[in-house]
Structure 1
Amino acid sequence: MKRMLWVLLVMSIGATFPSSLFPLYQEQFHLSSLQLTILFASYAAALLPALLIIGSRGSAWGLKKVLRTSILLSLLSTLVFLLGNQAWMLFLGRILEGIAFGAFTGTAVAFLLQQSPAHETGRALRFSAIVNTVGFGLGPAITGLVIQYIQLQPMHLPYGILTVLLASGAFALETLADTASPQTTYAPAKISLGVPSAIRPYFWSFIALPIFMVFTLNGVVLSLIPSFVKNVIHSSNLAVSGLLILVLFGIAAVSQLFGWPRQSITRVRFGVVLLALGAWFTVISGQTANLGLLWTGIFIQAIGMGWTFQGSLQLAGRLPKPEERNKVISTYYLAGYAGFIVPIVGVGMLTFLFALNLALILLNIVASAVILYIFLFSFRFERFYNKLHQTSHMSE
């Protein structure tokens, strides 16, 4: 399990690695704000179809084979950034990384569960969520610290470090045995979200929708952090934004180690409420330029993110049958990354009609209504989940 968790960590680091370099790219290649937004969105736009296509076919192709290809694509993306001397290469690098992480995400969790004993499924899912969260925070932090304090080839040295990390992940993957064989019989290349009809309404309302809201509201926070560093903290230090992002994801990771609440359903129930509360603190801090409100919002939202992510991922792994997990978990991440695009597209469109602050308030109002629905639906989900487990125990 430890070696697969290392693979998951280095790939998660790679997914967010270039974030701290975006201001340098904007200056070097004279990118407009719109071009920078498109660069940011191109990653998620490439990730979603990769999740959809490969998530539905990963088990048939062989999980380890898909993971190996994903790491190679991530290495190729790193090489493109390393050699990039034109703006189009930045877009190519982010698109390649989006495809790589999209192919990797759902498949990695399914492969981790394959490597873990049946009685450790819950533990494996818990640690995969923690490692994923830590990796997302470490990426921008490592890059920011390197370019700010080492100041040796700032556009290249970070990617040299990432190459070493990814190579170590590839080596760790090759030491793991693939205990399941890919399908050898021909099957039509049907693309399917792969959520069984018996669990579909419960999955979408209490597993997919919460992770969608996690990525949506986190996108708002991540979009506010750079402006706070510049306008409130009045710092040009490139490491600060990365460290703030690390704090957000770090608190989210630590919150997943809390022993309470013990039940996954309760974690999601309380987690989404904290998400909404933290988001309101953060948006209000953006209007008042109040750093204390920002830290309060980040702290509350980070705990909500950690609990919601961990609890919903555990339910996504437990609810389906083992042979259905790869598709279901891929669909779970598909829902999450769809939420990642909302702040970019939704707020971007609203700013044509309203000021940015008002656009963020409108987004938060909609998000709060969705979270209220999730909270109320949680009691119906709990009855279904308990009944499902009673039935499975009786059949055993």
Structure 2
Amino acid sequence: MSLSATAAPVVRATLPVVGAHLDRITERFYARMFAARPELLRDLFNRGNQASGDQRRALAGSIAAWAGLLLADAPAADPRAVVGRIAHKHASLGITSEQYKIVHEHLFAAIGEVLGDAVTPEVAAAWDEVYWSMADALIAAEADLYRAAGTAEGAVWRPMRVTGRVRETADVVSFTLSPSDGTPAGPFLPGQYVSVQVEAADGARQIRQYSLISAPGRAEWQISVKRVRPDDGPAGEVSAILHDAVLPGDEITVSAPFGDLVLPDGDGPLLLASAGIGITPTLSMLLALARERSGRRVIVVHGDRGPDTHAHRAHQEACAAELPGASLHVWYEEPGASGALRGYPDLASLDLPDGVTALLCGPLPFLRSAKAALLAKGVPAERIAYEVFGPDLWRGGN
């Protein structure tokens, strides 16, 4: 996958200028698009990420990274693989190929507004090629995901009834979900997530993603929701509704499962490292391993503020204890009498086996420090995978 001989030198020459203005371009893009199509902000885009600017920065980073890969003589990664995480997120939202035309219209209008006369027909054509190469890769990847899920393009939603609710910690509640039509919830891969859509006070249909924490094969699904605390803005509006208003017997709208951080096949050694609510995808993996009585070597790492904030602590300990090849390492900022280590997870201190595959989930500072420690210990980058909740502001392959 590469740019044409005509477009490549133009993109190479203009990338520094476009890159320097990407934040302004994406800011103007979203403002234009939402003015023309307000239903997209109301019912599709995460209003919290828009308010914080995280979505704008993630889009800018993705465009720059894609252009850089297309220009590289020997790309460090297959460009199609770079869009994998984005494609899973888009599929979980029910994004369709037609919506890429809407994005194109407003993105290129924003580029023209920000860069003015610098956007000659030649420059516009070259960057049009960049956009559609990325869009076509995403459309193809999303089509594959929809086929694998057995759904038509964008048709990922169904009503599910809340059949159980458990408070795990002061800030985390788990919900058990069953399809409203009485059918089984369906299969998923350990580590995957679903999107949950709820109606906000102003009638908007806001969407957030939550990892499935049950083991695959059960008739019901289970998710855990951490309350996001900014009460003066939209960042925590969905978690607040789920915590405060959704009870057993209520119905919510849930997507098919997606996500590319999944339990690898085979019998190779694993490192499952998490922090905070990042425990959820790794817990699903642990449950699956315990269910099949796996003999794999599994190093489980978790970091949290303290034992009272460690959601699913007992479940994690029990699963690790069931696996003959597992070891559990826990760090708390305030361990008290828990027996955990004090401080932040220190992956550099671990004895990791050759050939280990590391699966990480947690806040960005944790992901950065964990990957740096693993690379320093000689774990190849291609054996380090991660999930980040929210827009991917960290290019994990770098």
Instruction: Identify the structure with the greater strand proportion.
Output: 2
Same-fold status (TM-score > 0.5): no
**Pairwise TM-score range, normalised by the shorter structure:** under 0.3
Instruction: Identify the structure with the greater helix proportion.
Output: 1
Select the structure of larger CA radius of gyration: 2
* TM-score normalised by L of structure 2: 0.23
Question: Which protein has greater RCO, CA pairs closer than 8 Å, 6+ apart?
Answer: 1
* TM-score normalised by L of structure 1: 0.23
